[in-house]
Amino acid sequence: MTTQSCRTRRSAAGTITPALLRVLASLLAGIVTASPAAAQASARHAITVDDFLALKTVGDPQLSPDGETVAFTVTAPSLEDNRNVSRIWVLPAAGGDAKALTSGAGSDRAPRWAPDGKTVAFISTRDGTPEVYRVNLSGGEPSKLTTIPSGVLDFMYGRDGKSLYVVADTKWPGVQEVDRRSGEYPTDARIWTNLFYRHWNEWRVGTRQHLFRVTLPDGRSTDLTPIDRDVPTIALGGADLASSSLGTEIATVYNSDSSVATSTNNDIFVMGPDGGGRQPITTNPANDHSPAYSPDSRYIAYLATEIPGFESDRQQIVLYERATGRRLPITSSWKLSVSAITWMPDSRSLIAEVEDRGECVLYAVEVPTGRLTRLLGGGSNTAVQVSPRGDFFIYLHQAANQPPEIYRSDASGRGARPLTRVNAALLAKLELTPAEPFGFVGAAGDSVFGWLLKPPGFRAGKTYPLVYVIHGGPQGAWLDEWHQRWNYALFASRGYVVAAVNFHGSTGYGQSFTNSISRNWGGLPYEDLMKGLDYLGEQPFVDTTRIGAAGGSYGGYMIYWMAGHTNRFRTLVAHDGIFNPLSFTGSTEELWFPTHEFGGTPLAPGARALMEKWSPANFTGNWQTPMLVVHSQNDYRVDLSEGLQAFTALKLRGVPGKFLYFPDEFHFVVKPRNRRLWWGTVLDWLDEWLKR
């Protein structure tokens, strides 16, 4: 149930920090361009929900084999079609004009260059089912490369360009009793005998995800992993499909344990290009994933955790030496967790993407010493692609006041500049304030940090209502990013100060800080949040009589918990929150999560006692605060029944409440019309109670 996080830090008096430099730079910019800036600001307006949905999202940048061209996706919400429509674009890696490569029906994603760099393959739904197509750089009608009945989920090119490795669902025998009995009168009933029968937002009964090899140009497919397992794994994985530089071996990830619902034991397996000789290269009982072959094929680097059953354990980089089978952890002394890795062409170092105190920061990691060099930070920086000569890399950059764009930097992290500006015209009309870091002394005397956004048109000497947003995970963090669901700017647009605290349990502040929330859900985090409110209440621009809070997943749990433990809020918003840990444990699909968080299943007396101790359901007798509850039918992570129980408790208490139900969404609300309704309902609810 994790999310992500990266840099807020308290500085010693008199020390010039990056945050202070940003403030000074903004002040100087205002002095130098006072008149034009004032005129421009007066013409800008606060972002609206319709503005938010009009912004496009840049993603999945892919460098061509010669390093000259970038393929990427541009995704736009379509209210008319009620879906998010993605297209493939290209632009010169040195900078210049971008052009769309695809158009027409359906949606296109996952651009991947052919090894010769002459064409781009991608997954498209233009014919209904997602399949792989290929298009020339000059454009034209794409040609279809695969015909997989269930559709393609992911793919990569074989090194010789004559085959594709395709991830797709396939029917698995043993659960077809209903169909055989029903004959000419079929039903939608399902029968299963094992756990993990559903995951995230889909039913997995009678289905396995497998790795196929598709030969070109005839399109013939062969199942390389005909086993009773999802390959690659559908849980807790990463970039789980890789090829050696010569194409003589491929690596993937799956969980071979007897019960995958209670296990995080993903391992990396290598095999021949035809699937032969499959064998594991990891034996760690915790999670190993994201294999990446070094360009010289000496090593397979991968990410590994150490604690079985704990999905949010620190991920470190391990090198597997292919010739000797030796495994070498190279970041074992680092307290931070690595989320993704990319090799440099000389095989002497990797670029690591790391959550670091409220930012997503890029580090160079020397091989095999593990020596670290910070390359760049500021905002969130992800999806690194390195040029063939290693002289530059591209990446996605975003911040609280900037949607993601593709940036380019030299190999040392200097000279960063944007290559795309797809939202420039609309952003020029919006007044978006940056996220400001703040810190205070929290629970156990630890330093706790967070982000604060002031509303558009902010004026000193005036007070504003506060919206306190609470992240999920619970091992996650608020980042300096353009969040596609919990967008700080959109909350601030109605005239609210927005505060986001990275309480105990948050990622990016060292693993011991992250670990501190387990078996302590309503303890240290709640104390941090209350002390954060104390700090914010001391700010002259915060109206302490008008404070609301909103959170999702664990954040929704904390909304329910706070409702039973404080009356400091005028109103609350709980999205897909855990109301009763006992019932949650019996309905969630990833059972390793509550087992770790509460020290066992409800059958263990100690674990059951902790679930009762930290259960919001046991404190509804104290509920007095008006609450909006949001939950969706297809949320299999936190079942709909959790929200229904909470709403029932509200109404039985006679507390003002409202329920927003989505029959066609899951743990996230993603369809454009539903997103529009979600934001409208949430913001209107906050206005109703905070602007009286």
Domain boundary among 134, 166, 187: 134
Radius of gyration of the chain (CA): 25
- Spatial neighbors of 59 by CB under 8 A, at least 6 apart, are 72, 73, 74, 75, 86, 383, 396, 404
**Whether residues 94 and 229 fall in one domain:** no
Question: What pLDDT score does 190 carry?
Answer: 86
Question: What pLDDT score does 32 carry?
Answer: 33
**Whether residues 678 and 617 fall in one domain:** yes
Domain count across the chain? 3
What's the domain range around 272? 146-178+203-283+290-295
CATH classification at residue 248: 2.120.10.30
What is the arithmetic mean of pLDDT over 424-429?
98
Q: How many CB atoms lie within 10 A of CB 429?
A: 12
Give the tens place of pLDDT for each residue, 476-501.
999 999 999 999 999 999 999 999 99
Question: What pLDDT score does 489 carry?
Answer: 98
Tokens (6 digits) for 365: 């990691």
User: Where is pLDDT greater, at 7 or 427?
Assistant: 427
Q: Is residue 123 pLDDT above 80, yes or no?
A: yes
Contact of 673 with 660, CB cutoff 8 Å: no
> 18-32 and 34-43 helices cross at what angle (nearest 10)?
100
- Spatial neighbors of 537 by CB under 8 A, at least 6 apart, are 544
Question: How do 241-243 and 250-255 pair as beta strands?
Answer: antiparallel
Confidence tier at 176 by pLDDT (50, 70, 90): low
Question: What pLDDT score does 574 carry?
Answer: 98
Residue 490 phi, psi dihedral angles, 5° rounding: -70, -35
Domain boundary among 76, 101, 134: 134
- Report the chain's mean pLDDT, rounded to a whole number: 93
Question: What pLDDT score does 30 carry?
Answer: 34
DSSP conformation letters of 232-266: S-SSS--S-EEE-TTSS-EEEEEE-SS-GGG---E
Q: Is residue 297 pLDDT above 50, yes or no?
A: yes
Q: Is residue 673 part of a domain?
A: yes
The answer to whether the Cα torsion of 130, 132, 138, 141 is positive or negative is: negative
Question: What pLDDT score does 303 carry?
Answer: 98
Q: Which residue has the tokens 């760099």?
A: 117
- Spatial neighbors of 692 by CB under 8 A, at least 6 apart, are none
Nearest C-alpha neighbor of 255 from the set 264, 246, 245, 247: 264
Give the tens place of pLDDT for each residue, 321-354.
999 999 999 999 999 999 999 999 999 999 999 9
Confidence tier at 14 by pLDDT (50, 70, 90): very low
Nearest C-alpha neighbor of 110 from the set 57, 170, 61, 169: 61
- Spatial neighbors of 76 by CB under 8 A, at least 6 apart, are 54, 56, 57, 84, 85, 86
**Whether residues 118 and 151 fall in one domain:** no
**Whether residues 443 and 509 fall in one domain:** yes
Least confident of 117-131, 137-151, 180-194, 649-663: 180-194
Q: Is residue 236 pLDDT above 70, yes or no?
A: yes
Q: Is residue 476 part of a domain?
A: yes
Tokens (6 digits) for 383: 């999806």
Q: Is residue 44 part of a domain?
A: no
| Alpha carbon distance 331, 580 (integer Å) | 38
Domain boundary among 106, 134, 162: 134
| Percentage of the chain lying above the pLDDT 70 cut | 93
Q: Which residue has the tokens 């007066």?
A: 42
| Alpha carbon distance 311, 287 (integer Å) | 8
**Whether residues 110 and 162 fall in one domain:** no
Q: Is residue 164 part of a domain?
A: yes
Question: What pLDDT score does 174 carry?
Answer: 56
What is the arithmetic mean of pLDDT over 65-81?
97
| Alpha carbon distance 106, 116 (integer Å) | 27
**Whether residues 123 and 210 fall in one domain:** no
Question: What pLDDT score does 177 carry?
Answer: 60
**Edge-to-edge order in the sheet of strand 627-632:** 436-441, 447-453, 497-502, 464-470, 542-552, 571-575, 627-632, 657-662
**Whether residues 93 and 161 fall in one domain:** no
| Alpha carbon distance 237, 304 (integer Å) | 11
Helix (H, G, I), strand (E, B) or coil at 533: helix
What is the arithmetic mean of pLDDT over 514-526?
98
**Whether residues 512 and 609 fall in one domain:** yes
**Whether residues 227 and 130 fall in one domain:** no
- C-alpha distance from residue 71 to each of 92, 143, 341 (Å): 9, 18, 20
Helix (H, G, I), strand (E, B) or coil at 417: strand
CATH classification at residue 581: 3.40.50.1820
Q: Let me know the angle formed at the C-alpha of 150 by 148 and 156, rounded to the nearest 5 degrees.
A: 55
Contact of 78 with 464, CB cutoff 8 Å: no
Q: How many CB atoms lie within 10 A of CB 188?
A: 5
**Whether residues 221 and 274 fall in one domain:** yes
Nearest C-alpha neighbor of 114 from the set 122, 103, 125: 122
Nearest C-alpha neighbor of 109 from the set 121, 119, 91, 94: 121
Cis peptide before 232 (omega within 30 of 0): yes
At residue 388, what is the residue type? Answer: P
Question: What pLDDT score does 189 carry?
Answer: 86
Q: Is residue 31 pLDDT above 50, yes or no?
A: no
- C-alpha distance from residue 194 to each of 8, 172, 207, 629 (Å): 44, 13, 12, 32
**Whether residues 161 and 101 fall in one domain:** no
Give the tens place of pLDDT for each residue, 617-640.
999 999 999 999 999 999 999 999
Tokens (6 digits) for 666: 């899951």
| Alpha carbon distance 305, 22 (integer Å) | 36
Question: What pLDDT score does 26 carry?
Answer: 38
Q: Is residue 574 part of a domain?
A: yes
Question: What pLDDT score does 306 carry?
Answer: 97
Give the tens place of pLDDT for each residue, 75-106.
999 999 999 999 999 999 999 999 999 999 99
Question: What pLDDT score does 9 carry?
Answer: 30
**Percent helix, strand, coil in the chain (nearest 5)?**
20, 35, 45
Q: Is residue 600 part of a domain?
A: yes
| Percentage of the chain lying above the pLDDT 90 cut | 89
- C-alpha distance from residue 515 to each of 88, 151, 314, 614 (Å): 40, 39, 10, 17
Q: CB-based burial of residue 389 (10 Å sphere; 0-12 exposed, 13-18 middle, 19+ buried)?
A: exposed
- Spatial neighbors of 189 by CB under 8 A, at least 6 apart, are 178
Q: Is residue 65 part of a domain?
A: yes
Contact of 363 with 350, CB cutoff 8 Å: no
Question: What pLDDT score does 181 carry?
Answer: 75
What is the arithmetic mean of pLDDT over 285-290?
98
What is the arithmetic mean of pLDDT over 594-623?
97
Q: Let me know the angle formed at the C-alpha of 204 by 202 and 206, rounded to the nearest 5 degrees.
A: 145
Cis peptide before 217 (omega within 30 of 0): yes
Q: Is residue 545 pLDDT above 70, yes or no?
A: yes
Helix (H, G, I), strand (E, B) or coil at 588: coil
**Whether residues 239 and 117 fall in one domain:** no
Confidence tier at 320 by pLDDT (50, 70, 90): very high
Q: Is residue 364 part of a domain?
A: no
User: Where is pLDDT greater, at 433 or 188?
Assistant: 433
- Taking the complete model, does pTM exceed 0.85, yes or no? yes
